[in-house]
Amino acid sequence: MKILVIMGSPRKGNTYRAAKKIEEFMQLMGSVEFEYLMLKDANLSQCRGCFVCFTEGENHCPCKDDAPIIEQKMHAADGVIFATPVYGMNVSALMKTFIDRFSYIFHRPRFFDKKALLLSTAGALGLKEVLDYLKLVAGVWGFEVSSRAGIVTPPGPVSKKKEQENNRKLEKAASIFYNSLQKERHPPGLRDIFIFRAQKASFGEPDQSSPVDYTYWKEKGWLSPEAKYYVNVPVNPVYNAIGWMAEKVLRRKIRTELAETRK
């Protein structure tokens, strides 16, 4: 199994060492191959907010950098670990640049055959906020987030008790992640269905400002009335009914707004 670690730390510090611990634990469970993508060493431009990736496609992005190579690395991996320290109650600048640079994937998700582990370290606070944000990002991109680990690594010496506690968290996260890689994708939750239905309504009108999104969704078959989710997995019928109603309301609102712009 191939695991890609996307490292959002500018140094090989606590977050890097935590990822290496996860690698050690997973190596004990079976054959895994780890690759570390150090964002500090990647040629990744800051997003310009020009919307070209939405209106014309990501191949027309004016930023000519390593983004296509990085995306291929994610496709080639069986699982991806998104790792970042907490900086200012958020992900690091490196990780945020990475996320922003791939904004088009929020509109055109594609990693539904991949599993993700979320990893963060903090001196004190911010772990929940960062892990929740990474879960939203990875989930919308298509990853099944199967595991997460947040550990406190304060400056200075760490007590033996804290070190053992952190190692237990990392070992548990590694075990859950490893086991998830052996299994089929889990059925989507209610929030997953809401996101799918909201996007289906948003990108389902051919005369909107994002024709690339419409074409992508149509080619995937996601605009079909029968499509309940991005991939063929069991969908809770109650979640499906709620999502269907939400899509109808949102689609009606979008069509009303489009009609008003044509006047």
Q: Is 62 found in the same domain as 44?
A: yes
Q: Is 157 found in the same domain as 109?
A: yes
pLDDT of residue 216: 95
Task: Confirm whether 185 is domain-assigned.
Answer: no
254: tokens are 């979008």
The model's pLDDT over 116-140, given as tens digits with 9 standing for 90+, comes to 999 999 999 999 999 999 999 999 9
Q: Find the domain containing 208 and state its range.
A: 190-262
Q: Does residue 208 surpass a pLDDT of 80?
A: no
Q: Is 160 found in the same domain as 57?
A: yes
Q: Return the CATH number at 49.
A: 3.40.50.360
Q: Is 228 found in the same domain as 170?
A: no
At residue 213, the 3 state secondary structure works out as helix
Instruction: Tell whether the torsion through CA atoms of 241, 247, 250 and 256 is positive or negative.
Output: negative
Residue at token pair 């889990």: 186
Task: Confirm whether 114 is domain-assigned.
Answer: yes
Task: Confirm whether 91 is domain-assigned.
Answer: yes
Among 180, 202, 225, identify where a domain stops.
180
Residue from 161, 6, 1 nearest 71 by CA: 6
pLDDT of residue 154: 87
The model's pLDDT over 12-31, given as tens digits with 9 standing for 90+, comes to 999 999 999 999 999 999 99
Q: Is 218 found in the same domain as 130?
A: no
Q: Does residue 34 surpass a pLDDT of 90?
A: yes
pLDDT category of residue 262 using cuts at 50, 70 and 90: confident
Domain count, the chain: 2
Residues whose CB falls within 8 Å of the CB of residue 155, separated by 6 or more in sequence, listed in order: 123
Residue at token pair 């997973």: 26
Residues whose CB falls within 8 Å of the CB of residue 204, separated by 6 or more in sequence, listed in order: 214, 217, 223, 251
Distance in Å from the first CA to the final CA of the chain? 56
Q: Is 216 found in the same domain as 166?
A: no
Among 132, 156, 180, identify where a domain stops.
180
